């Protein structure tokens, strides 16, 4: 079991457990996932991530076991492009603004750095999701590039990145000057 991290609002922090996500959690996280800005995937997609990158899949729960939020990701790339990727981070509406997303992101960054020795962490976010963009910026992420039509060809995404200590020169976060297409994303 992963111990709780500091940084969660004191009202919730002592009552929050971070632990590895398990298969049965797929039946208990609807309160977190049913949000118009949260991508919901098919069961096989979650199971693939759980089997291939279990270190990147963490859930936060209340003492009664109710899901508060989760994060899932993976390690990918080659050479100096080797990095951690945030596939999904979501927090239940009633658990927002207590610092839980920051703690979950910190967990993924820690895994990317200490287990996978990545150069950076990246994520994709809808350009219209100003709240999330602001949150990620506060966490130290910056816009690396714009990906045209990333979301089903209907909406662009920002590829946001945060350099990890291995990227001493911070080359991974130097922004591109032009947008790219989804098929150009490595």
SS (H, E, C) the chain: CECCCCCCCHHHHCCCEEEECCHHHHHCCHHHHCCCCCCCCCHHHHHHHHHHCHHHCEEEECCCCCEEEEEEEEEECCHHHCEEEEEEEEECHHHCCCCHHHHHHHHHHHHHHHCCCCCEEEEEEECCCHHHHHHHHHCCCEEEEEEEEEECCCEEEEEEEEECCCCCCCHHHCCCCCCECHHHCC
Strand order in the sheet with 83-91: 17-20, 58-61, 67-76, 83-91, 120-126, 155-163, 142-151
Which residue reads 């991508």 in tokens?
39
What pLDDT, on the 0 to 100 scale, is given for residue 186?
A: 77
What is the rounded radius of gyration, in angstroms, for the C-alpha atoms of the chain? 16
Give me the half-sphere count of Cα atoms (radius 13 Å) on the Cβ side of residue 91.
18
Tokens encoding 110: 């820690």
- Token output for 154: 């209907």
The predicted pLDDT at position 35 comes to 77
What is the value of pTM for the model shown? 0.90
Are the beta carbons of 162 and 124 closer than 8 angstroms?
Answer: no
What pLDDT is stored for residue 3 in this prediction? 40
> What whole-number distance in Å separates Cα of residue 131 and Cα of residue 128?
9
Contact 9, 99 (CB under 8 A): yes
How many other CB atoms sit within 10 Å of the CB of residue 106?
Answer: 16
Residue ranges for the chain with pLDDT beneath 70: 1-14
pLDDT for the residue 12: 52
pLDDT of residue 15: 74
């Amino acid at each position: 079991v992963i111990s709780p991290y500091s940084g969660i609002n004191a009202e919730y922090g002592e009552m929050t457990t971070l632990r590895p996500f398990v298969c049965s959690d797929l039946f208990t996280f609807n309160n977190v996932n049913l949000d118009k800005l949260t991508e919901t995937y098919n069961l096989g997609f979650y199971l693939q991530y759980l089997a291939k990158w279990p270190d990147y899949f963490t859930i936060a729960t209340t003492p009664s076991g109710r899901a508060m939020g989760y994060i899932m990701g993976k390690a990918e790339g080659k050479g100096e492009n080797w990095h951690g990727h945030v596939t999904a981070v979501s927090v239940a509406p009633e658990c927002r603004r207590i610092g839980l997303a920051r703690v979950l992101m910190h967990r993924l960054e820690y895994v990317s750095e200490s287990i996978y020795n990545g150069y950076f962490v990246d994520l994709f976010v809808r350009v219209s999701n100003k709240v999330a963009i602001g949150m990620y910026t506060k966490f130290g992420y910056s816009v690396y590039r714009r990906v045209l039509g990333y979301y089903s060809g209907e909406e662009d995404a920002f590829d946001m990145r945060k350099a990890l200590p291995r990227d001493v020169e911070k080359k991974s976060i130097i922004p591109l000057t032009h947008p790219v297409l989804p098929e150009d994303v490595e």
